[in-house]
Copies of this chain bind each other. A is one copy, B any other.
Amino acid sequence: MRADARRNHTRLLNAAASAFAEHGENASLDDIAKRAGVGSGTLYRHFPTRRALLEAAYAARIEALGVRGEELSRSLPPGEALTMWLHELCAATIQVRGLKTLLGTAATDTPLTTCGTLVKSTATTLLTAAQSEGTLRPDLTPTDLLRLTQGVATAAELGGGEAREIERYLGWLLDGIRVSGD
């Protein structure tokens, strides 16, 4: 990769991150190119679609979520680890504008994006551990869990997105997906 190409690549990522943060996931691509001091064609050369740019801009954030999941699964009992991770996933979905679209790609049976695959594998690890304890419904799949977490994030976001709301709604969801009648 040529030196100027590499420089433009990182400039574009920085510009994209701040533009998405300011204007949401539909921030003007032209504006991003301008902020990066780069021709618009260059943006398309590096990131052929808006989604590709979104994914690249948030890759670090997504990886952090994966790492955090592993940490939690090592340091806490399965049920608590899952709860905490879901809380952090919700909080990130709400706080980081544009992450929702990206995480939607994780909530399918066969994720098509890198970040989707990572998030789903973390969810699978945490969920399986909690289920083998026997407190969570065995018919709940990782895909279900990620969809429902997106749902909780949507609900909490409508309420302002404060941690208190997330806990309230997430708590009820978890009550609903525990094994009952035991």
The B-contacting residues of A in range 137-182, CB under 8 angstroms, are: 143-144, 147-148, 150-156, 158-159, 168-169, 171-177, 180
Contact of A147 among B159, B171, B174, B177 (CB under 8 A): B159
CA distance A158 to B154 in the complex (A): 12
Interface size class of A (residues with CB under 8 A): 20 to 34
Which residues of B lie under 8 Å from residue A173 when comparing CB positions? Answer: 172-173, 176
Q: Which residue of B lies closest to A104 (CB)?
A: B158
> Which of B158, B159, B174 is within 8 Å of A176, CB to CB?
B174
Residues of B within 8 A of A180 (CB): 175
Q: Is A94 an interface residue when CB atoms closer than 8 A count as contact?
A: no
A102 at the interface (CB under 8 A from B): no
State whether the Cβ of A107 lies closer than 8 Å to any Cβ in chain B. Answer: yes
Contact A154–B150 (Cβ < 8 Å)? yes
CB proximity of A152 to chain B, nearest CB, Å = 6
Among A151, A169, A180, max chain B CB count under 10 A is at A151
CB <8 Å contact, A155 and B159: no
A156 to chain B, nearest CB (A): 8
Q: Is the CB of B147 within 8 A of A158?
A: yes
Shortest Cβ distance from A27 into chain B, in angstroms?
16
The residue on B at minimum CB distance from A152 is B151
Cβ A158 vs Cβ B169 within 8 A: no
What residues on B are CB-neighbors of A107 within 8 Å?
158-159
